Each structure stands twice: as C-alpha cells, then as structure tokens.
Structure 1
Amino acid sequence: MQVRFVAQPHGSQLGKLFLSELANPQPPTAVTIVSAFVARATIHRLKSRLRELHAAGTKVRLVIGVDMGGTSKEVLQELCSWSPIEVFVFKNKKAGVTFHPKIYVVERHHVADFFVGSNNLTDGGLFKNYEGAVHLSYSLPADAASLTAAKSELSKFLTPDAPVAKLLDKEYLTKLLARSDIPSEAESRQRARTAKVGSPSSAADDAFGFEPTPGALELPPNYQDLVLTANSAKLSEIKKGAKKAAQSGTKKVKKGGIMAAEPLAQIAPVSFYMELNATDGAKPKAGGKSNIPGEQRIPLPAIWSAQDYWGWPDNYTLSINPGANRKRAKKDEDPNKEKVDRIYRNWYPVWELSLVGDATKRVRKAVRMYFYENSSDFRFTAGELKSWGGEPGDIVKITRVDDGTVDFSCELVKKTHPLHAKWATYCKTGEKTDRGFGFD
C-alpha cells in the first residue's frame, strides 16, 4: 500500500488528482463519493465523466449530507436527475449530530485509490481552500486484506442504509424540497456572504495575512451557458416587472434594484472575454456608447452570474450625485423639471493592462469599475483601450488575479492578431446584446 499526503492548494489539488483517476483509460469497477457538502458547479465538473463510466458498467454512488445548509435544493434536483446513478442522502435528525465525512474512492481490478480528508465536493474543497487529505493506494491482490479492513470500517459511509441514509428518488426529492432547513442556491450565497471574514481589497484590514493561491479548473461550457441563460432570463423578468410597476404608479421602483436581487446561480470563471464597442468617447446613442474615452459596458448577466469574480457587492462603495447639484443638460431644459440623483457603486481595483503583440504597451493602474443604478449599467474605464487603438470587434480578456498587488489583468487583442480568432470562440452574442462575451 502506498500513502501520500495532499496539502491543498499549494501542494496538490485534490480535485485534479481525483479527476485524473476518473480520466484513466482503464475504466474503474466502482466510484464512490462521500461528502458532507456539495456544490452545484462542482458536480457539473464530474457529471459527464461519471455518466460515461456508469454507462460503461462502473458502479457509481454518491453519499451526500444536508446538514448546516451545505447542500442546496438545486443540487438535490440536479443529482436526482442523474438516475440510475445511486445518490443517497445521509442525515441523522438527532440534535447535535452532523454528517461530516469526505471520502473519494476509485476501484479497479488491480488497484483501489482512497482519498480521505477535509475536502468537500465543492470548488473550495477540491481546488481553492486550504485542505488536508491522505491518498491511499491499495495494490491488488497484495493489499486485499488491508482494503477489506478499510472498507469494513468505512462501510457506514460507503454502503449506507436506513434509517439515516435514503435513496434520492423523485418522491424523496419532493419531500426534501419542501423543507425550510435545506436552502436554495440564493439562500446559501447569502449565508456565505454573512459568514465571510476579512477583505482582501482593504489595506486597512491588517488582522489577517494574504498570499496568492491557485484557483479551480475551467468550468464545463454547458454549465456556464446554463447559468448565463437562466440569469439573463431572470434579469429580463425583473426589468419588465420594474418598468410595469413604475408605469402603473403603484410604487416607485429604482432600476438599481436589479443588482440587489439574488441571481439564480453562480459560476467561478477563469477569464472573461468581451468584444469592444466604441472607445472613442462618442456621444451616447441607442447602442449605449460611452462619452468617456476607453469606457466599456460589461453586460449585466456577466456580472450577475459571477459576482465573486467581479468583487460584487463587497468591494463597491456607494456614491450619490444629488440631482439638485447637477447642471441642466440643455439650455432649454425646464428648470422646474425634477432632477434625479445619480447613484453609483464604485470600486477602484488595480489592473494590469496590456496590448497583445506589443511589449511596450503595458501599464499597471487603478481602474474604476462601477454600477450606475439609474440605467442599470456596469462599466469600467481604461483610457488605454482608446490610446492603443481599440476598435469595435477587438477583444479584451479580463482575468481575476488576486496576487496581492494586482486584482485583474486586461489584455487587448486586435482583430488583425492571430490570437483574435481563438478568443472570439468565447464571445457569444446573447439576447439583446450587440457584442459577444463569455467566460472560460
């Protein structure tokens, strides 16, 4: 038997090790995952491969917990749709008892690999968090006795049964979805936000230290499309409701309420790609061109679907330009016309901007990122996009860095550069969006 320790994230990432085992061309005879908490994005990373294995004859089983709000209703719905793959929900209703194990097992005829540690089936647990685990590899038949002993000791988790473990079928799912102690995705994010300690963007917060850490792997494109499509539809619904309410006069609705609403789901992307619109400071028109050179709008679904990535809302501060202090836009404007406050949410993170193909075009600076509530626009301002000749159809790749000195990198690639064609594959045109955008 071989034993190795896994010190995540700087040593190894358990998610990469486990996915590597699943990708082995020799199909396993059985795959068992036991986890107290489960995240929706993470199971989508495994979904395709686990289904392939099951179809090829591998025995696939998941045993999951629902204690402490660590698994959402949407996760249960998704896993229930994986039938006939076995999914068990493990819960003892005795007060003060929590289901908390994390075990990942891949069995083949000649070897059985066990990963046992603190790693939940979440992006944090498998990739980003500080976690400790041990990888035990049993060679067969030499280690058969040791493997049998291990499986016997862990049998309560690996082969669960009643009364504390129940198979997740449609009837049981209906019962679970009706419970208030199992949160929705939105409720889970609210709880996580409330429990958050420390602010990496605040230099004044010196109670804790900082060091850069690796991120998660790229999400499957189909999951990103699913989240963006669902959130885009939800945003359209909110906008229509706000407009209807404002027109009816039943109540005054601020457009800024859109970003206050909770998204249906979230993604954790590696990078964001977006085609530019005009950067020359043209007068605003129906297309939404900015009157500030280098200013660009990021489509709201892109912000709403990846709030942590953009630092929303924790890093943004409120500023109001009172309507009474504003000058009339036109000489003939009615002086008695009600002046509306301009409401902004601002953040000034450090960006490293560069022009692909020109090593002389690189600068590090604070960039204003802001949400303008009055028009529900999310924008950033980088004059270099104009001065370096950025034109409509050129593409920017914005990547969250968080290395302690830079928050984002922003690379501009011109249409004439060979890399443009590759980046363009990420830029899909969404509903009511004249520019392509997307994530990897």
Structure 2
Amino acid sequence: MTQQVQSQSMEFLRQPAAKDRLGDFLIANFERDWTHFRAAIAFVKRSGVKHVASPLANFARSHQVEVIVGIDHNGTSYEGLRDLLAAVQPNGRVIVFHNRLVHTFHPKVYVFKSQNAAEVIAGSGNLTEGGLFTNYEASIRLSLDLAKEKHANMLNSVEDGLDHWSHLGQGTAQILDENLLRTLRNARLVPMEASSLADGRMSAASASEADLETASALFSALSEHRAPSAARPTHSQTENQERVKKSAQSTRKQGGVSPKRFVMTLQRTDVGVGQVTPGTSKRSPEIFIPLSARNANPGFWSWPNGFRTDPDKPGKQDRPDVRMHFAGQTVPVNMMTWPDKHDFRLRSAALRDAGRIGDILMMERVEPGLDFEYYVEIIPQGTEQHARHLIHCTGVVPGRSRKQYGYF
C-alpha cells in the first residue's frame, strides 16, 4: 500500500508490499505525457532493465532521456548497460559515472517532467529486479506543480544534482557507447552476468594491466569531502616508534605478516606522470617503497619467497598480478625489485594516478579467503584520517629522502 505524507504532493512508497512499487511507477510514467526522463542510479543489471526496456524504448523514440549509472563494487553489469544503451536510442544517452578515489556513486533518483509538472522518486531502489519489485525498499515520491515556486525550486534542486553528476568536464562522467562499454568490460569494471560463478556471483576476474590503464585514463580521481573521524586511542610518536619496532621484530622472528597495515607518505616520484627524460617515453606508473621499509617487515610483502626471477632482466625479482582492492575495484599490482635499483616498487596506474604529494599510501594485508590480498587507500593530505595515519609514519629513509613510513 501507499502511505500519504502531508499531502497528495508527497507519498512514502514501500515494497515489496506496496501497490505502486518502483517498477510499477516507472512503467506507468513511461506511458504518460512527459517530455523528459532523467535518472541517477548506482547499479543496473539486466534483471531490472528487462522490465522497463520496452516502455523506455517507446518513450525514447520521441522524448529526451538521460540515465546516469555508477559502476562501483561490481554492482552494474555489462549486460545491464548494453540493454539500457539499446533502449534509450535514438533520443537518449547513458552516462557512466566513476571516481577513481574511494567515493561510491550511490544515488537512486528518477525524474519525469514536462513544462508544467514533474514526478520525482528518490529512495533505495536500483535498476535491478530486486530494486524495482522484490527487495525491501523505500522511496519518497514527489508530485510537483511547477506553477508553484516551492515545487519549481525543488525540481531545480534535484536537477542541479543530476547536472553535476552528468557534467563531462570534471572527468568523472563519460557518455556510454559501444567502445566505452567494451573498455569497461575488458577492464572488469563491469562484470559479465553470463560469466556468473557457480555460487551465483557475477564474475570479476582480474583484468590485464593494459586494460586497466586504458580504463583508468577515462575517469578522474576527484577529491570529495571525507567522513568525520571516529574517536580512537592515541599514542605519542615515541610510543608508536616503539610499537612499530617491536611488531616488525616479532614478525621477522615468527615469519608472519603481522602487523597488518603499512603506511607511507607519497613524494614527487610516486604521483602523476613522474619524471620524463627528453626524448624518452613516460615513466612506468610506479610507487617507490624504500628498501628499508620492505626489510622492516618482509613478510608483509611475501619477500623473498613469493617472488620469482625475471628471465629477461638478470637479478630482477617480480611478484606479478598481486590483487589489491582499491577505490571499489580489485586491481592487479606488480611488485618488483632488482639489484641496480635501491628501492622496491609497486606498478599500478590506478594507484599512482590517485595520489598527490604528501598523501599517504595505506595498505592492509587481509585475511585469507577474499579474492584480494591487500586493501589499499590513498589518504589525502589535510584530512583527519591523514593526521591519524601520519603518527604511524615513524620510519625515515637514510639520505635526503623526505619519505616516511611505518607499520601498525
């Protein structure tokens, strides 16, 4: 059933018990005399698109359509995007939104409008079968009379948000076409439903580094406001130095990987395009870990037993395709070191592109059983989270390096 709130212009919708579920609302409104449909949706799958594809396609033949879709956490599938793209032709467009930093695109907003009226639903339902019909979901439905100033202002506020997310200039939004869809599939940013695993989850197999670099170049790493910091016990720098020292000593004696977290301040050689010598190609996308940091806790990196010799480069040791969870995706990272270099390197375009000088790289070794070995964050300088992690960066590098690191 539908529960009224304040007046007929606002309703609270709940499902699956409701008469007017999100899917019912969309299908009914595609058949009404609206001129525009816009939406911002976190997750889209074939199971949801199949219910609205036909009425959406009929609507799009003579009306304007724009759908903004997120691709975080493998929640949107290749088939869902493919079928949605086909349904909005010829007068519509699908925009893919993705921020390479740890900000998940998570809205669920649906707007129908004409010159004098609008209908808006904002709630929890994605464009999936569960989100449209069978999940326990809740939404607020607004019926707006645009002749009324407050109603017009409300619609303007909603569309300001949609305009911000769909703005192509900030690098987090890209118009979907067949080429972009193929790139996202190859980079495993949108998994294939047809490749479902035996337990029913969509496949998110590791992509090649080349495919990830191609996809990474399409989307920006845009800093947004972070969550407030939760209270936690604090220790003096001297206490932290002693804790890190004891933990590392214990690890070496026991052959384990505790402590679980590594932190390091990023410097010029770790961010952006790096140094470029005239007449040569751009430096490989690498983050440089001091040997003293690696040697302080070799088990954290599976050094040296987890590495193998590179047959093409004498003495070079590699640990390829180490799976790390970063910015909502699992990415392969190559670990490497060799005798004529005085550092230990992580090669990953996704990690390097996300950092700025002074930010902190935080890596956490996770428990066995997950499909990745490390959880990784780039923590922006100037945030409370940065200050909390900086106190653990008690290790210094001999010489002129300004880099600091630590384990905890």
Output the TM-score relative to the length of structure 2.
0.43
Output the TM-score relative to the length of structure 1.
0.40
